[in-house]
Structure 1
Amino acid sequence: MTANAERRRSEGVAWACQQCDRVFSSAKGVEAVQHSNKTGHWIERTRKSR
């Protein structure tokens, strides 16, 4: 996981791809949708549990 993805994940709410380890910040939900459409991967809204 990249430092950038780790930072985004620590922000609280994010979109996480279930098939690859990509994490999209909640402000970039559009990117998550585009990623899902392009790859067929399943995107889940997630909350950092800490």
Structure 2
Amino acid sequence: MKIIVFGGTGGVGTHFVADAVAAGHAVTVFARTPCKVAQQGVSIIQG
């Protein structure tokens, strides 16, 4: 499943992104500050 996460650098968002990647989903994180995205294996869109 393809998932886009808004707020993926926050407290809950980081856990959700990690769980989604571990489950094998294609994850895109929409972030103001892309360098804050700690999870590997995700696509990042700055906005």
* TM-score of the aligned structures, taking structure 2 as reference length: 0.39
Q: In terms of Rg, which structure is larger?
A: 1
* TM-score of the aligned structures, taking structure 1 as reference length: 0.38
The structure that is helix-richer by fraction is 1
The structure that is strand-richer by fraction is 2
